[in-house]
Amino acid sequence: MNSTKRPYTLFRLTEYEQFSLKQLSIFSNCTFEVKRGWFGILLELGTDLEKYCNEHKIDLPIILQIKEKFGTLRFYYTLKDKTIAEEHKNAIREMVKKAEDLSEITCEKCGEKGELVVDSNFWSTVCPSHRPKKAINATDLKN
């Protein structure tokens, strides 16, 4: 292995971070397929969802998968009660969208301010210190 590259496991959520997230009911049965830099985003999202659902006396969303895809956070869920009011569905959707949007500007490795880049067809959101040398800004691909 090239000594300048770090293995993926170095940036995975630590056992303590996973334990901390699993203290929230919404994440109690989840596996996390994301790197450490998004720990704060997930913690805030889980806390906000639990608070909102408790205040409005609605069931928590059921988490299907939490992962990185094309360099940003993806949060897949379903609602246990399909009959909840549209305002609650929209509020939950907005909280999830906010977290996903934040991941696009947060380094997935360390949590610092980052940007979405592409390196050899691999998308990631990274800060300047974690940016691969040959990476290009994803916005350059969209233009």
Average pLDDT of the chain, as a whole number: 91
pLDDT band at 141 (very low <50, low <70, confident <90, very high): confident
Mean pLDDT over 108-116 rounds to 97
Of 131 and 10, the structure prediction assigns the larger pLDDT to: 131
CA–CA dist 30, 142 (Å, integer) = 33
Q: How far apart are CA 112 and CA 99, in angstroms?
A: 15
Compute the distance between CA of residue 56 and CA of residue 33 in angstroms, rounded to an integer.
30
For residues 118 and 141, give the distance between their C-alpha atoms in angstroms, rounded to a whole number: 9
Whether the CB-CB separation of 76 and 63 falls below 8 Å is answered with: yes
The predicted-structure confidence for 72-92, as pLDDT tens digits, reads as follows 999 999 999 989 999 999 999
pLDDT for res 6: 44
Rounded average pLDDT over 115-127? 95
DSSP annotation of 62 reads E
DSSP annotation of 63:
E
Q: Which two tokens stand for residue 127?
A: 């800060």
pLDDT of residue 10: 67
